[in-house]
Amino acid sequence: MHRTLPPPDVRRSAPEPRTGTAHRNAKTARTDPGSGQRPESRGPTVTGNAQIIDRALGRIVAGYVFPQRAVEIDRAIRARLAAGEYDALDGTALCAAVTAHLQEVCPDKHLRLLWQEEARSTETEDDDAGRAAFLALLREQNQGIRRVEQLDGNIGCLDIRRIADAGEGARAIGAAMELVAQTRALILDLRECRGGSPEGAAMWCSYFFPDDQVHLNDIYERSTDSTRQFWTLSHLPAPRYLDRPVYVLTSATTFSGGEDVAYTLQALGRAELVGETTRGGAHPTGRHPVTEHITVTVPTARTTNAVTGTNWEGVGVRPDRAVAAGKALEMAHQEAIRRLS
């Protein structure tokens, strides 16, 4: 049996995470596709599959984090276009076909053409507008924190569906951590976490280390040809969770920002992962509207973990204890009680 505690509220922000000196003041308004962010771009009305594909490929060639692969993608998709493979397709069918072909050339799960039923404006190009949409989505979803629980044996459990921004989301993250501060062990349930903010991932991880001296990862950005370092934070709005067991639940659905938290805590030996191998998307991504209904997502950066020197792209994060996602919570709970008995 367990009891559900009231969800934390959201009111104020916390300090930005520390980065490398050269990039500490760089503006970051990028998230992964799982975040729900929808930046917009200025351009003429796009009609016809040739124009749709041409515009999407233009974004990929200009922004994809691996330029040579972008050239290969462009060549392969244009060959299919010239052969008439997309002539009879539209809407979701066109997006599905192009996405499959993009990932056939380059198996990057963040590289996609997406269809949305609701028409969206393409009249402005503004990273701030995209960031605003991302933050609004997180507000609607309680900064990604679905549930805070106290399980039998005084084991805390946080159900996290998205990784919040470290600014606006700091208060909610801190409130959640405050509610589990007196538990004997903690379970982070990331089985339904589909992504979010790199800064937020660093904040979540910071709670499980004693100070700001832990190097988490680096993110290289193609557009600036620079690398930003992510470290644990020196100041947090709630007590750190130290010297107690931490378990992270994963599934084949866990993606991007959720994978970041799981991979980082595992690599640093701070958490035991229970569940399934995750989906495998490690590249921070921008979203660009092609038409009112079609968006192309373009990975523009790559993550390198400070411990492993690599990331989870294409392979996912492998659990320490493999079990079906539906049984992961029970297994982690039982293991926590056994370990503390």
**pLDDT tens digits for 197-222?**
999 999 999 999 999 999 999 999 99
| HSE of 253, CA atoms in CB hemisphere, 13 A | 13
Around Cβ 177, how many Cβ atoms within 10 Å? 24
Q: Calculate Rg over the CA atoms of the chain.
A: 20
Low pLDDT (below 70) residues in the chain: 1-47, 123-130
Q: How far apart are CA 117 and CA 12, in angstroms?
A: 34
Q: What is the CATH number of domain 142-286+299-340?
A: 3.90.226.10
- 88-97 CB contacts, 8 Å cutoff, 24+ apart: 89/49, 90/49, 91/115, 91/293, 94/49, 94/52, 94/294, 95/294
Express each pLDDT in 158-209 by its tens digit.
999 999 999 999 999 999 999 999 999 999 999 999 999 999 999 999 999 9
Provide the pLDDT for residue 223. 94
Q: For residue 306, which of 205, 173, 184 has the smallest C-alpha distance?
A: 205
**pLDDT for res 9:** 38
Q: Which of 299, 163, 280 is nearest to 219 (CA)?
A: 299
Nearest to 111 by CA among 81, 142, 73: 73
Q: Would you state the structure tokens that stand for residue 54, as one six-digit string? A: 């041409």
- What per-residue confidence (pLDDT) applies to 47? 60
Query: d(Cα 64, Cα 223) in Å, to the nearest integer?
Result: 9
The residue behind tokens 């399980």 is 151
User: What is the residue extent of each domain of the chain?
Assistant: 142-286+299-340
Would you state the structure tokens that stand for residue 173, as one six-digit string? 């993250």
